[in-house]
Amino acid sequence: MAQAAYPAMNAPWLESQWSTITRWHVLLWPLSLLFGFAVAFRRLLYRWRIIHSDAVPVPVIVVGNITVGGTGKTPAVVWIADFLRRRGYRPGVISRGYGRRSQATLEVTENSDPLEVGDEPLLLARRTGCPIVVGADRVLAARGLLRRHPECDVLLSDDGLQHYALRRDMEIAVVDAQRYYGNRLLLPAGPLRERLGRLESVDAVLLNGDGQPTAPNQFRMRLTGEVFYNVGRPELRVGVSRFQGKAVHAMAGIGNPQRFFDDLRALGLVFTAHAFPDHYVYTPADLNLPRADAIIMTEKDAVKCAAFADPKCWALAVDADIDPALEFKLLDTIRKHHGRKAA
């Protein structure tokens, strides 16, 4: 198998420290303690109903994570939406739209500007065909979506695990089973948004990668993909043989660029890698690689580059393969919601 040729990624210094424990963590540890206390206390205030949370009339399924960085959450949302539609449901999706320049609550269409709605919501709109609304206030986003699309009978909240203002029927946490939890410290000394014990309270933990379930609420998940589509003309699709013997460059502006590069290497590609920060805003200059025969990028990057990509730009189509046992939990959650409403 051919080996990938790429330099070390220029990850931010702080993120590079999250995989280990050094003398710097002695200074950051007190801040992590304060952060952990604030997060736990805020969650208790919601549980004790001291801070009000709101419900909507349809089941709400939250998909998120407890770490900073990419875990495969977006493909998981696509898988869940597709499964529910096959079973006759009409899901809608709400998201914060991280990194967008607008603060308004907006509906996302396949032709939306990624700078206005965010790259992940736009990708979800194109992959699922579901109604999607972005907004920092998840309650307002949920109500706005249901007002615009009263046919929706279940809501998926993308990356809303820590947004307790919206009541939920099911919590799903996606875990990168390659990196797991880094040094297992809370922000800013580590990558954790909440303590590891939080995973015991969620309904399902999706282990993205080769991880083996060790608890009843854990399920296997893998990302698969070997078809590439042209960024400017998505109807054009090719296999990996299209790039053999070519000068290939790979670009990734996601939470974990290394995973993408490893996937390309597993397909037998030899390439030069270019890692960018998560939610990076590309410009035409970033694609100006005169000696490149092909530029391969993630689907999330492709939605931001489609307006100015030239014919040598391709994206790897990726799908989630999730343990079918999760299907029963999803359907059971929806049935229980309707049972409570009827009672």
How is 226-259 classified by DSSP, letter by letter? EEEEESS-TT-EE-GGGGTTS-EEEEE-SS-HHH
pTM value? 0.92
Q: Round to whole Å and give the CA distance between 123 and 82.
A: 14
If pLDDT is split at 50, 70 and 90, which confidence band does 342 have? Answer: low
What does the pLDDT read at residue 179?
87
* Mean local confidence (pLDDT), 274-279: 91
pLDDT reading at 122 higher than 90: yes
Q: Round to whole Å and give the CA distance between 238 and 212.
A: 33
What does the pLDDT read at residue 136?
92
DSSP 162-174: T-TTB--SEEEEE
> Which stretches of the chain are DSSP H helices?
13-17, 24-47, 73-86, 114-117, 119-128, 138-148, 257-266, 299-305, 325-342
* Mean local confidence (pLDDT), 132-161: 96
User: Which amino acid, one-letter code, is at 71?
Assistant: T
CATH of 34-221+322-338, one of 3.40.50.300, 3.40.50.880, 1.10.3720.10, 3.30.420.40: 3.40.50.300
* Mean local confidence (pLDDT), 236-242: 97
* Length in residues, the chain: 343
What does the pLDDT read at residue 211?
86
Mean per-residue pLDDT over the chain, rounded: 92
Q: Round to whole Å and give the CA distance between 17 and 141.
A: 35
CA nearest to 79, candidates 252, 326, 332: 326
